[in-house]
Structure 1
Amino acid sequence: MIIDMKERLAIHSFFIWGSRKEVSGIIRLLVPILTLVSGITLGVLVIVWMERKISAGIQQRIGPEYAGPLGIVQPLADGIKLLFKEDLLPSRGNTRLFSVGPSLAVLSVLLTYSVIPFGYHLVLTDLSIGVSLWIAISSIAPIGLLMSGYGSNNKYSFSGGLRAAAQSISYEIPLTPCVLSISLRVIR
């Protein structure tokens, strides 16, 4: 079967246009999400910077001023410092629980983004139970806090993990009826 040059060019251009449509569809999906997430991240950086400056003013001390102009890059420097800190594992504790606990807490937060609508037709997972799934997934975080506190085999770390889990649950208890009452009001 012989394919002449014109047909090869047509087939090649079809594949190029098909891949371009897929790439443009992915870009159309990711740009609003990345815009929203980067805006939230920038807002958090500014709020942390303002909180540190205001706290320094109240306590009559010098706040962050060396990292960038007026210390505006200080929250970013703190985040980079946290990323490159040494990972210490407890010698007598359960290292698997100690390592998996924080990962489970972060994973539950990241999974909640799957049901958040970023636009009118822009949602990663379109479910009819999105609000209930959001509440259920975010309720997994206290388990990770308990796992990391218990895995250290230290009574002070375990009591800190219990306190963090209790605080997280105490925020979720009033959140759930508020969110569900609004969603029930919207459903007709």
Structure 2
Amino acid sequence: MAENPTTATAPGSAPDNKGRGRGNGERRERRDDREKDKSPYMERVVFINRVSKVVKGGRRFSFTALVVVGDGNGTVGIGYGKSKEVPQAIAKAVEEAKKSFFVVPRVQGTVPHPVQGETAAGVVLLRPASPGTGVIAGGPVRAVLECAGISDVLTKSLGSNNAINMVHATVAALKMLESPAAIAARRGLALEDVAPAAIIRASQMTVGA
């Protein structure tokens, strides 16, 4: 009669189940921490650079980070951080960006009118686009526009291709935007005299929402 094979266990040993429950608990804690750390803002790292400083004992290296932060619904800001480690530099840049938030006027997901921003050697042109066009822009400019909640726009860089200059020029252009109502009030005219009917309807729908 054949015997059923059994697995031999060394005396005094126990099944290898130790640590499994603890590992699952640690994973749940890490997952809970990540959920707590989720921010309602969009964060885009545009530029990271390593810089060095010559001191008596040699060179000291640090990192700088340029970050764009926005809620994707008309609020955006940029920040610049510096630290010995990349994560700390990004964290500092995010905090600085949140302190520089400003509101961007939008009409149907695009800019109300053409505008050109200039900062140092950076020059960026923004033009309205019809729904469905998308964000026609390069990396640094796209990051700012998407965080600001602009979904349809035509852009062109007319100056330096430096990422920092392009980001600052884009922010300068966004800060120059005015809503149709603000333009009409500044000129002392009726809203119908300064904006097409479609833009007026879109503005009223945005206010009503």
- The structure whose Rg is larger is 2
Answer whether TM exceeds 0.5 for this pair. no
Q: Which is helix-richer, 1 or 2?
A: 1
Q: Which is strand-richer, 1 or 2?
A: 2
Question: TM-score, normalised on structure 1?
Answer: 0.22
Question: TM-score, normalised on structure 2?
Answer: 0.21
